[in-house]
Amino acid sequence: MTAANTADRMRDVVVVGGGLLGWSAAAALRRKIPALRVTVVPLPPPPDALAERISSTLPSIIEFHRDIGMSDGDAPLRANCSFRLGTEFQHWNGPLPSYVHAYDRYGQPFGTASFHVHWVRQAQAGPTPPFDHYSPAAAIARAGRFTLPETDPAHPLAHFEYGLALDPVAYPQMMRACALHLGAIERQGAVEGVRIDGETGFIAALALDDGSEVKADLFVDCTGPRALLRGELDQAFEDWSTWLPCDRLLLADAPPAADPSPLDRAIAHGAGWRWIAQSRSRTSHGFAYASAEISDDKAARTLRGHAAADPQAPIALRQGRRPQPWLRNCVALGDAATMVEPLEWTNLHLAHSAIDRLVAMMPDRDCAPVELWDYNRQCAAESDRVRDFLALHYAASNRDEPFWRQVRDIAPSESLAHTMRLFAERGRLPFYEDETFTRDSWLAVLLGQGVIPRRTDPLIDSVPPGQSEQAMAALRDGISRIVPALPTHAEFLNHMQRQAAR
């Protein structure tokens, strides 16, 4: 058994794509499975590869860095990255104030019920401070401050996580250096053709522009939506545009702010939404919209007006996913697998998650269908729930423009409908496998957009409302005492730099 095994082992992997994603995949493969020979064909990423272009990332990136052996300080100190604590959503629901989705615990459970049940009961009884007033990270972010989470679980600042705002030049460079350091091999060239084995349907080799061929056991496609390799095997695609109607994206870069906010802004617009994400290296502006509702020219004028910078050419956005990101010996990562608008910044997260899965599930050279089946099943479950979470922002809005009314009139996916039904009834959230966003994240958006459950959970009966209010006031006080003492984001970054220089 042992001998046969060794011959069947996966040996050669070729990663096509020279942006941060290709290099990240190569680094993880080398780090976790040193027996693999990993070659990167560094094609420049196309402008519509959002996992490459969107600089705001979710907290999962921190874990990804640790997994490939990087320290938490590497990205901010060596690649000019800054921190982000969440997103403020403005005008998504008419009369309600803006709300913050931070990567944090909202409130603290007490008595026999979770915190939001207490909040819901107060909200049903009358005006009450917004739900995000119970997240320390949301308060810190609104104040433009930053600090790292505390390690003592009893500390109010122990439960939040943070993401990074990436530098578009320094970060890919660092990942490349990291992958090369870990032993990945770089092979320059443009891909002229994909040769497919007539018998097995596997990719046999890539033809490069210098006339040479690159062979491998497994091909990893990081070439963006066009999916240069994976697209040769099939074109199956599951379209999400009924639920996520934006089909265009505009990006514009403005100079950085002196003290960049760790809180991104997502501002609803009559035909979509736009965003502002400040980082150390730039202020990114973007506009996601439905081309049927607003012309590219008008959208560009709108964005230019807000950004005071010229937008780049519009990106066509076809939201959805491949039913099988991994087919035979070719696996698609990032936009080649799933394309989704940057709302909630999941583009790179989904790609990282796929890399983790690829490494954990690495099959033999035969790429047995049963193993690919499990990989594809998990990818599907994960991206469908991300789709649901994004669609929730539209489904739970009460804006009046035709764009918003249309999306609201469409029945949500079965899983989102189930979630919203359960929540609207009694504030319960169902469990799904491979969920990206925590219960607190779902709560932040649902309650932030004014979805108030019809009734309260009976398990809260043993706590009288007065007692809830007392505990809730103590939480608010605790948060408001902590915030002013923290450094601003720029102060924190400067301090970090000084410490490292010592």
Partner 1 sequence: MAARRVVIVGGGTAGWMTAAALAKLLPGRCDVHLVESEAIGIVGVGEATLPHIRSFNEKLGIDEADFMAATRATFKLGIEFVDWGQIGDSYIHPFGTFGPGGGDVDFHQFWLRLRQQGINVPDLDRFSMACTMARMNRFALPSRDSRRLDSTFGYAYQFDATLYAPYLRKIAEGMGARRTEGRIVTVHRDGETGDVTSVQLESGEKIEGDLFVDCSGFVSLLLDKTLGVPFQDWSKWLLNDRATAMPCRTEGQVTPYTGVIAMPYGWRWRIPLQHRTGNGYVYSSQFLSDEDAAEALIGAVEGERIAEPRVLRFKAGRREKSWVGNCVGVGLASGFLEPLESTSIYLIQAAITALLELFPEQHISAVDRDEFNRLIDLEYDRIRDFLILHYHATKRSDTPYWDYVRTMDVPDSLAEKMDLFRRRGRVVKYREGVFLDASWVAVYLGQRVIPQGHDLRADAPSAESLVAGMQKLVGEIQGLSSGMEEHGAYLRRYCPMTEAA
Q: What is the contact surface with partner 1 in residues (CB under 8 A)?
A: 1-2, 5, 8-10, 32-36, 67, 112, 359-364, 368, 370-371, 373-374, 421-422, 425-426, 428, 430-431, 433, 455, 457-459, 461-462
Residue number, 381 or 471, with CB nearest to partner 1: 381
Residue number, 29 or 138, with CB nearest to partner 1: 29
State the minimum distance, in angstroms, from the CB of residue 175 to partner 1: 20
Residue number, 209 or 373, with CB nearest to partner 1: 373
State the minimum distance, in angstroms, from the CB of residue 112 to partner 1: 7
Residue number, 314 or 363, with CB nearest to partner 1: 363
φ, ψ dihedrals at 488, nearest 5°: -70, 170
Task: Give dist(CA 406, CA 403) in Å, integer.
Answer: 5
Q: Which residue has 């910044």 as its token pair?
A: 345
State the minimum distance, in angstroms, from the CB of residue 34 to partner 1: 6
Residues 6+ apart with CB under 8 A from 278: 165, 256, 257, 260, 261, 264, 284
Residue number, 5 or 151, with CB nearest to partner 1: 5
State the minimum distance, in angstroms, from the CB of residue 16 to partner 1: 21
State the minimum distance, in angstroms, from the CB of residue 166 to partner 1: 24
Residues 6+ apart with CB under 8 A from 49: 19, 21, 223, 224, 225, 334, 335
Burial class (CB in 10 A: 0-12, 13-18, 19+), 210: exposed
Task: Give dist(CA 38, CA 192) in Å, integer.
Answer: 20
Let me know: does 441 contact 447? Beta carbons within 8 Å: no
**Beta bridge partner(s), residue 38:** 13
Residue number, 34 or 129, with CB nearest to partner 1: 34
The dihedral over CA atoms of 249, 254, 258, 261, expressed in degrees to the nearest 10, equals -10
State the minimum distance, in angstroms, from the CB of residue 227 to partner 1: 25
State the minimum distance, in angstroms, from the CB of residue 54 to partner 1: 26
DSSP state of 366: T
Residue number, 33 or 482, with CB nearest to partner 1: 33
DSSP 101-123: EESS--S--BTTB-HHHHHHHHH
Let me know: does 21 contact 351? Beta carbons within 8 Å: yes
Amino acid code (one letter) for 324: Q
Task: Give dist(CA 307, CA 465) in Å, integer.
Answer: 46
State the minimum distance, in angstroms, from the CB of residue 199 to partner 1: 23
Structure tokens at 37: 């020979």
Residue number, 35 or 154, with CB nearest to partner 1: 35
Task: Give dist(CA 403, CA 420) in Å, integer.
Answer: 21
Task: Give dist(CA 224, CA 54) in Å, integer.
Answer: 13
Residue number, 155 or 421, with CB nearest to partner 1: 421
State the minimum distance, in angstroms, from the CB of residue 63 to partner 1: 10
